[in-house]
Amino acid sequence: MQGHLLQADGEVAQATADSVTRAVDGSRFFWLDLIDLEDDGVTVLRNTFGFHPLAVEDAEHFGQRPKLDAYDDFVYLVIHGARHDGNGTVEVHFFFSEHYLVTVRRTECPAIDTIRDKEARADRGQGERSEPILLLYRVIDALVDTFFPVLAQFDDEIDDLEDAILQKPTDEQLGTLFTMKRELVGLRKVVTSERDMFAELIAGISPLPGMTPDAERYFRDLYDHLIRISDLVDSYRDLLTGAMDTHLSTVSNRLNEVMKQLTIIATVFLPLSFLTGFFGQNFAWMVKELNSFGAFLVLGVGLALAAVIALLVLFRRRGWMGGS
């Protein structure tokens, strides 16, 4: 069994079946943090704690939406936070009562480790120790706050992408935009579910053990954070959509500019092709009468130059060559 046990005296020890049993049999609050739940960990949840089989089954399977399920003597929660590397989310399962807090996760989470170290120092008299309900709040708040740095990085990346798109749009930028949009869709699903869950909790629809009016203020602040995060996700999604439209518009404008230039070139050569084709005909009268150097300059070169100049003047007057 891999994990840590924050005991009542502030000592943090490796979680074992015996240490967990002693903590459960005791009368003081403790925190069991399990990483990568294995068979022995499942046995502890089922037999030592006596959790409901449905809750234990949920804890074994990750990839769930945020939720809160109330059982007889505990509540079961699923909370997501952002990974510290910005790649997806970290999913944490909670078993909470006024006697214990059990967290189950599969990956490292510096936010949870930080809270555990603070609580350990507080239990040793180096700070203010949290009540059980406030400890639950602090852990969830640490997970929720991990979204803010990730979204700030999104903001910077969107700004950089917009500047790069205006300078020179590329296919790689379009792929990056699609990837970021998929990530935001995943974050929105998580954040929206968590926001709705805490809205129900504040409204009293989903109760928590040990909830007090003072503790409710903290969870209201948590709900406010989730609203801000949800608004940021929606804003950045709109910005990504705008950046994608800008990319497509820029590419389309560049294509139109190229097509205009090619059309101008083709139009300029159209009368030249006609003139060279007409005077290249081997009619006897034409070969006999138009055989002087002067005729060549006037009809061969002069008409061609006159056609090109006339077309260029027409294009410039129409504004097709960037002129007025």
Phi, psi of 132 (to 5 degrees): -55, -45
Please answer whether residues 153 and 86 qualify as being in contact, where contact means their C-beta atoms are separated by less than 8 angstroms: yes
> How do the pLDDT tens digits run along the chain, 324 residues long?
788 888 877 788 888 889 899 889 888 899 999 998 888 889 999 999 999 999 999 999 998 999 999 998 899 999 999 987 778 899 999 999 999 999 999 888 889 989 988 888 775 555 556 788 999 999 999 999 999 999 999 899 999 988 888 888 888 888 889 889 999 998 999 999 999 999 999 888 878 888 888 999 999 999 999 999 999 999 999 999 888 888 888 888 777 777 877 787 787 777 777 767 766 666 666 666 666 667 666 766 777 788 888 888 887 787 776 544
Q: What integer pLDDT is reported at residue 245 of this predicted model? A: 87
Please give the single-letter amino acid code of residue 254: R
Q: What integer pLDDT is reported at residue 46 of this predicted model? A: 92
What count of other Cβ atoms lies within 10 Å of the Cβ of residue 75? 19
Cα angle 36, 39, 42; round to 5: 80
Give residue limits of the domains in the chain: 3-251, 259-318
**Token pair in block for residue 283:** 């009619």
Q: What integer pLDDT is reported at residue 123 of this predicted model? A: 57
What count of other Cβ atoms lies within 10 Å of the Cβ of residue 39? 9
**Token pair in block for residue 101:** 């807090």
Q: pTM for the full model?
A: 0.77
Which sign, positive or negative, has the C-alpha torsion 18, 20, 21, 23?
A: positive
The superfamily CATH assigns to domain 3-251 is CorA soluble domain-like (3.30.460.20)
**Token pair in block for residue 76:** 């079961």
What CA–CA distance (Å, rounded) separates 123 from 118? 9
Please answer whether residues 225 and 145 qualify as being in contact, where contact means their C-beta atoms are separated by less than 8 angstroms: yes
Phi, psi of 23 (to 5 degrees): -65, -40
